[in-house]
A and B are shown apart, each in its own frame.
Chain A
């Protein structure tokens, strides 16, 4: 996790909020550093993590996680982390008997255009068992990312329904959190992605938006992060509802600074 980002969000692993949906989106840049941040943050905070990773392999997240101080292999072995490796599962599904339910069942069936099997997988993964009751604080669902589900043929409403059910189970019933990444295509032609992004934005309590700089690529400033707190129960005053910072990604950390205050420029 990045301590500077924790300071900006006013949170630490000990007193993380519960029952919240955090939306990560990126436009014209790669926002995956936010996914790595939240993954290591919740592992350090002793949450039970269910990670639906559709974009990269397990080893990729593991290598980055080790730089940030968490070992995904160890977390998986002690039962703290349930990892759905989308890239591997998507191939496996074609070599299994069809009767067995699979989280990514929609890849195989033309008719069922919903994500109910994936929701059942998440619910099973985060179901409290007796020996785990005392071990882990709360469940958290991490999804990287949701836009790829649209590319795989699902409609925006199906993905919104999946997140709706996850919210009902994880956020409301189990008092856990959800963190999901959605790409913002930027152009007006991708209506489904816009519906997904806006629909999730309306349900979110916190929106982190990583954008590329409007002036183009820069060696010292990699992008801009907009933080928007939503909902009547935000902890900060109305004036601080929205913050904008610029950032630079280094090998093991990300440094944040106010606009125009990059150390390279001062």
Chain B
């Protein structure tokens, strides 16, 4: 692949990643952690939806409206409707400014909205809703919100931000089963990465892992190209190496070597010649003597203990 082809593929991947996340419709679940926060990616997806011309409704529970709108230009901010559950979600101030009915009513009101055109609903965050509402109620409301409407003009896309560490596996899996796409954020060495799981209807779920960073204007900058599942591929340029070259030992025997090996008698294999050779002192054997000085405590017994052996 030439460098220009690589860049071209990189640009396609940028569009692919956001578009494929947004094209499925239904719910996209963003799972983040303390170390790798997901609100920036949520805002990047909102920016993309707004640039498509859609209206974006944000149910904001965790940050103020000013903080959420920060970084968006006026074009995007004009398409953003912020339902404020940050200032007074539980109606403690009793000034009447809070959204009536609390968080559940606010969520259900989003289902009942009547304005035409495709709409994106961003829930910041699902964790806050999950801590304050029963899981079953929340799942029912989400299902009602994101179910595919047959007429294409009223399609609703739901983006939900979930803080993974706050919940047990049960609620997380329940929400995950409602989602058509799941993005799990992690990272290494200061570089964030997203693991995306797509659940397309009537197809196997597909995975993709992508390193990215979010620019200050909430556009996405992909780094290093997509990391697909590792597939071992043979490299056509390197010739296969013969491991039997340049050995320091013989792998094969020549005919002479084989005959010599076969005719060798093993040391502990007793044949009659060997026995006689051992018992008869050879010509060179008389040259060795043993000089022994016995100690005071030595027990010198003239009897040979090996006398009873029958050799």
Q: A160-B131, A231-B37, A238-B190 are in contact. Are A199 and B89 (CB under 8 A)?
A: no
Q: Which residues of B contact A202 (CB under 8 A)?
A: 34, 37, 62, 127, 163, 166
Q: Does A203 sit within 8 A of B, measured CB to CB? A: yes
Write the A97-123 contact mask toward B (1 if CB under 8 angstroms, else 0).
Answer: 000000000000000001010010000
Q: A165-B92, A194-B165, A232-B214 are in contact. Are A199 and B131 (CB under 8 A)?
A: yes
Q: Which of A172, A195, A202, A207 has the most CB of B within 10 A?
A: A202
Query: Is there contact, CB below 8 Å, between B34 and A241?
Result: no
Question: How far is A232 from B92 in the complex, measured between Cα atoms in Å?
Answer: 30
Q: Which residues of A contact B34 (CB under 8 A)?
A: 198, 201-202, 207, 228, 230
Query: Is there contact, CB below 8 Å, between B40 and A232?
Result: yes
Q: Which residues of B contact A241 (CB under 8 A)?
A: 190
Question: Which residue on A lies nearest to B62, using beta carbons?
Answer: A203
Q: Which residues of B contact A230 (CB under 8 A)?
A: 34, 37
Question: How far is A165 from B62 in the complex, measured between Cα atoms in Å?
Answer: 11
Q: Which of A119, A199, A228, A241 has the most CB of B within 10 A?
A: A199
A-B contact count (CB 8 A): 57
Question: Which residue on B lies nearest to A201, using beta carbons?
Answer: B34
Q: Does B137 sit within 8 A of A, measured CB to CB? A: no
Query: Is there contact, CB below 8 Å, between A195 and B86?
Result: no
Size band of the interface chain B makes with A: 20 to 34
Q: Does B132 sit within 8 A of A, measured CB to CB? A: yes
Query: Is there contact, CB below 8 Å, between B64 and A172?
Result: yes
- Among B183-220, those with CB < 8 Å from A are 190, 213-214, 216
Q: Which residues of A contact B90 (CB under 8 A)?
A: 114, 161, 165
Question: How far is A160 from B166 in the complex, measured between Cα atoms in Å?
Answer: 12
Question: How far is A9 from B40 in the complex, measured between Cα atoms in Å?
Answer: 24
Q: Does B69 sit within 8 A of A, measured CB to CB? A: no
Write the B64-100 contact mask toward A (1 if CB under 8 angstroms, else 0).
Answer: 1011000100000000000000111110100000000
Query: Is there contact, CB below 8 Å, between A119 and B131?
Result: no
Question: How far is A232 from B40 in the complex, measured between Cα atoms in Å?
Answer: 7
Q: How many residues of A contact B (CB 8 A)?
A: 26
Q: Does B35 sit within 8 A of A, measured CB to CB? A: yes
Question: Which residue on B lies nearest to A160, using beta carbons?
Answer: B131
**In the assembled complex, how far is the CB of residue A263 from the closest CB belonging to chain B, in whole angstroms?**
30
Query: Is there contact, CB below 8 Å, between B190 and A195?
Result: no
Q: Which residues of A contact B213 (CB under 8 A)?
A: 238
Question: Which residue on A lies nearest to B90, using beta carbons?
Answer: A161
Q: Does A239 sit within 8 A of B, measured CB to CB? A: yes
**In the assembled complex, how far is the CB of residue A183 from the closest CB belonging to chain B, in whole angstroms?**
17
Q: Which residues of A contact B37 (CB under 8 A)?
A: 202, 230-232
Q: Which residues of A contact B64 (CB under 8 A)?
A: 168, 172
Q: Which residues of B contact A248 (CB under 8 A)?
A: none
Question: How far is A160 from B35 in the complex, measured between Cα atoms in Å?
Answer: 19
Q: Does A157 sit within 8 A of B, measured CB to CB? A: yes
Q: Which residues of A contact B190 (CB under 8 A)?
A: 238-239, 241
Write the A191-209 contact mask toward B (1 if CB under 8 angstroms, else 0).
Answer: 0001100110111000100
Q: Does A127 sit within 8 A of B, measured CB to CB? A: no
Q: Which residues of A contact B39 (CB under 8 A)?
A: 232
Q: A201-B34, A230-B37 are in contact. Are A157 and B165 (CB under 8 A)?
A: no
Query: Is there contact, CB below 8 Å, between B92 and A116?
Result: yes
Write the A216-249 contact mask toward B (1 if CB under 8 angstroms, else 0).
Answer: 0000000000001011100000110110000000
Question: Which residue on B lies nearest to A116, using beta carbons?
Answer: B92
Question: How far is A108 from B62 in the complex, measured between Cα atoms in Å?
Answer: 30
Q: Does A164 sit within 8 A of B, measured CB to CB? A: yes
Question: How far is A14 from B165 in the complex, measured between Cα atoms in Å?
Answer: 36
Q: Which residues of A contact B86 (CB under 8 A)?
A: 164, 168, 172
Question: How far is A225 from B146 in the complex, measured between Cα atoms in Å?
Answer: 44
Q: A164-B89, A168-B64 are in contact. Are A228 and B35 (CB under 8 A)?
A: yes
Partner of B165, one of A161, A198, A203, A239: A198
- Using CB atoms and an 8 Å cutoff, list the residues of chain A in contact with chain B: 114, 116, 119, 157, 160-161, 164-165, 168, 172, 194-195, 198-199, 201-203, 207, 228, 230-232, 238-239, 241-242
30 residue pairs from A and B, CB less than 8 Å apart: A114-B90, A119-B92, A157-B131, A157-B132, A165-B88, A165-B92, A168-B86, A168-B87, A168-B88, A172-B64, A172-B66, A172-B67, A172-B87, A194-B165, A195-B131, A195-B166, A198-B163, A199-B131, A201-B34, A202-B34, A202-B163, A202-B166, A203-B62, A228-B34, A228-B35, A230-B37, A232-B37, A232-B71, A232-B216, A238-B190
List 14 additional contacts besides A198-B34, A228-B35; criterion CB under 8 Å. A160-B131, A165-B90, A168-B87, A172-B66, A199-B163, A202-B37, A202-B62, A202-B127, A228-B34, A230-B34, A232-B40, A232-B214, A232-B216, A238-B213
